[in-house]
Structure 1
């Protein structure tokens, strides 16, 4: 018996010669928050639109609640969709926008029941008292909540969100992350959230699905994806790793830092050595590093609130980033344009290569 909320089996979507989705397969259970992460053009929004029914795949099948809906029109699927630009009606009030789908659809509900359900959703998203306002009289974050409430009034089992926080400022994005997760947990429905932000994907998803060039290249919990990226591309998308090209041969990686033993490696189509930003350490250039090391010149620091990012430039022009979490104590200070020795524990590196040991 199929217990998934939705399932994709080998979905392929093309636009002329462009393959937007390439044999994508994915399954989601009930009560999950799934984040789609990938660069622009990776196929995230196309995948969302295929699930919603706005696009038809050339190959593969789409299932929802155990039913094949591949050829079912979008309005008959019972799937909610929150658009990136919210797609609200500017001439309608908040409550009229929220109840629009019920009023103009085939809900069969009375006007009183539509109003009751709309007010219930308005309260759920924290907009009680604003139901009579025009949507041009409320903030961007409030409009985002109206768009979400409008979708939730339809009682969908699955809600698709296309970059829903992209139009909000940084403080509001952070607050809405928490609120979206809380709303989903109260309703007990599955949310699928498309984002180009690695921070957003890791913070919000119970599972993170990473796409690149139309293919799903990794699926896992935020911890699994963060700690064990499946490829150099995933490590690059996460924006948490310094990546060094080189050559993996005979259990050793040869790079700009010399030759380093590699006890384990991940199979890849190219040889890349990855060190997480917060695994790097800086020593005086005269120090004797216990492990691999690179001489690099300090360029600048950036304060991020919970951490400090330090930027160095190696002799070959490679920019190396080092992160210090402020919970660990006072950060080091560095002199501008001075050389330092950047080092790390090779046991904490992730090595990708054609010669893989696991």
Structure 2
């Protein structure tokens, strides 16, 4: 439906987007994930028509958007700051685009009221139409901004970090609400975020951006379980990443030790990144450990051959509600994180400063050139 072809945009000579191509499908929720400065908001501004690309083309339903002004594109935009009119009621904010559109404004006030009331009901604000925007909460303002955008029936809705200003509980509720609203209306959403959990939980597909390029465009489970590069794994904030090189003996050497490689990794590469997800690591006891180890040391033999193992000293833990993150320090001072989900069993107790073995199936590791 919406296609970006080789988009390039520079500001003061610095590239914001570099030859970027991607598509937004009909009736799809597409999330864009990346760090600050990766080009996410620039892409939205080009699609909306607020900025003009230096090179490349945008097409909507096969028709070029190059040179088409923003108000004629049929594309809605919800900014991070909501940009509501403080001197207007909630109702009048939502009605603004219907009444004052430069293309086909709605002159019949009964039609305006009907459409605004329907939209306020859809976003859960049916009883707040007469309130001023200064009298409602941040989450309600977010819904007003969304309703104002959707009431004019855009073909595409662009959301620039729409949940960034909300508290954690409200952000979680709005995650569900946005997907529900999109599904009911059948409008394609493109949602920019710097939060990896938000991107994975909301998107039908996820685009990982960095330095103006799309590193991976895939379904959330593929991005999470099989990131196609160490850079993507780093943005997910769920992987321990070791930098080193492949050895002649078929291992991976880094300053903290040497690890066995998965069978699928070619051995004819030099520099490499070795990644293992936090929740794939088990903590095992070692000789001399005082207490807290739930598993015995792994013996030599076939079981050990299938595992990657590293000695590490326990530092501390961090409780996050549904999980605990344990922190361990390797011989080279690198800190390794181990995620333990509390639904599994009673959490382990480790002794600060004691030595343990971090172990995981070697086939669970991802190794990149």
TM bracket, shorter-chain basis: over 0.9
* Residue 282 of structure 2: aligned partner: 281
The 2-side partners of 1:240 and 1:189 are apart by: 31
- Tell me the CA shift for residue 337 of structure 1: 2.4
CA distance in 2, matches of 1:121, 1:76: 22
> Which residue is equivalent to 1:107?
104
Q: TM-score, normalised to structure 1's length?
A: 0.94
Match of 1:337 among 337, 353, 366: 353
Q: Aligned partners of 2:18 and 2:270: how far apart in 1?
A: 18
The aligned runs of 1:1-358 (5 Å cut-off) are: 5-105=1-101, 106-109=103-106, 110-250=108-248, 251-255=250-254, 256-265=256-265, 270-286=271-287, 287-288=297-298, 290=304, 291-353=307-369
Query: How much does 1:52 deviate?
Result: 0.8
Give the Å deviation of 1:220.
0.2
> 1-side partners of 2:62 and 2:235: how far apart?
33
Any idea what the Cα deviations from partners look like across 1:142-170, whole Å, max 9, x if unmatched?
A: 00000000001110110000000000001
Contact 1:264 / 1:351 at 8 angstroms: preserved in 2? no
Distance in 2 separating the partners of 1:99 and 1:22: 38
Q: Once superposed, what is the RMSD of the aligned Cα atoms?
A: 1.6
TM superposition shift of 1:326? 2.0
Shift of 1:80: 0.5
- Tell me the distance in 1 between the aligned counterparts of 2:259 and 2:236: 26
Distance (Å, rounded) in 1 between the aligned partners of 2:170 and 2:259: 46
Cα separation, 2, equivalents of 1:135 and 1:233? 41
Deviation, 1:269, is: 9.2
1:279–1:198: structure 2 CA closer, same or farther, 3 Å change rule? same
Give the superposition deviation at 1:270: 4.4
Which protein is bigger by CA-based radius of gyration?
Answer: 2
Q: Quickly say closer, same or farther: Cα 1:269–1:64, change in 2 above 3 A.
A: farther
- The 2-side partners of 1:312 and 1:91 are apart by 54
> What is the aligned partner in structure 2 of residue 356 from structure 1?
none
Distance 1:64 1:272 in 2: 39
Contact 1:11 1:61 in 2 (8 A): yes
User: C-alpha deviations, 1:109-161, integer Å up to 9, x for none?
Assistant: 21111111111110000001100000100000000000000001110110000
| Contact 1:37–1:201 (8 Å) recurs in 2 | yes
Aligned mates of 2:349, 2:151 — CA distance in 1: 53
- Check the 8 A contact 1:19/1:214 in 2, yes or no: yes
CA–CA separation in structure 2 for the residues paired with 1:206 and 1:26 = 14
Distance 1:242 1:25 in 2: 30
> Normalising to structure 2: TM-score of the pair?
0.91
* CA shift in 2, pair 1:185/1:62, >3 Å: same
Which segments of 5 or more consecutive residues in structure 2 lack a partner in the other structure?
A: 288-296
Alpha-carbon distance, 1:292 to partner? 2.2
> Structure 1: 5+ residue runs without aligned partners?
354-358
How many residue pairs end up in the alignment?
A: 349
Tell me if the contact between 2:8 and 2:18 (Cα under 8 Å) persists in the aligned partners. Answer: yes
How many angstroms apart in 2 are the aligned matches of 1:268 and 1:188?
47
* Structure 1 outlier segments of 4+, above 4 Å: 266-270
